[in-house]
Structure 1
């Protein structure tokens, strides 16, 4: 589980925008950048090259849920 205090200070390295914790996929989601950053061994990997691009369906689902 990601520490809520840590989540409150982390931002997307691309857009400097907010991130959403996706517990199901163990990722930090940036809707603005359309990227999902992995969390490995409880450590967020905040590198653009390590992030995966979200599909349009995923992004729409996130926007409707949050």
Structure 2
């Protein structure tokens, strides 16, 4: 299971089912920050107590450094 920032676990099967609510595109898990990344929308959704908060109002806008960094592993489906 993936770790959240607070040490809680996130169910990998749940992560595979999630999509960005804005773009409907794939999300990538960033275990270092405990966030789900939508590279298309350039935002990161927080995961609190193992629960993804999929509200655009709660999402963090990715910085230039975040956008230029190598992407975290993509979730779900064949690679």
- Which TM-score applies when normalising by structure 1? 0.90
Larger Rg: 2
Distance 2:46 2:40 in 1: 16
Partner Cα separation in structure 1 for residue 62 and residue 50 of structure 2: 21
Aligned length: 65
What is the CA RMSD across the aligned residues, in angstroms?
1.3
Deviations 1:4-53 (A, max 9, x none): 11111100000000001111101000000000000000000000000000
Moved runs in structure 1, 4+ residues, more than 3 A?
Answer: none
Distance in 1 between residues matched to 2:49 and 2:25, nearest whole Å:
24
Give ranges in structure 2 of 5+ residues lacking alignment: 1-8, 74-79
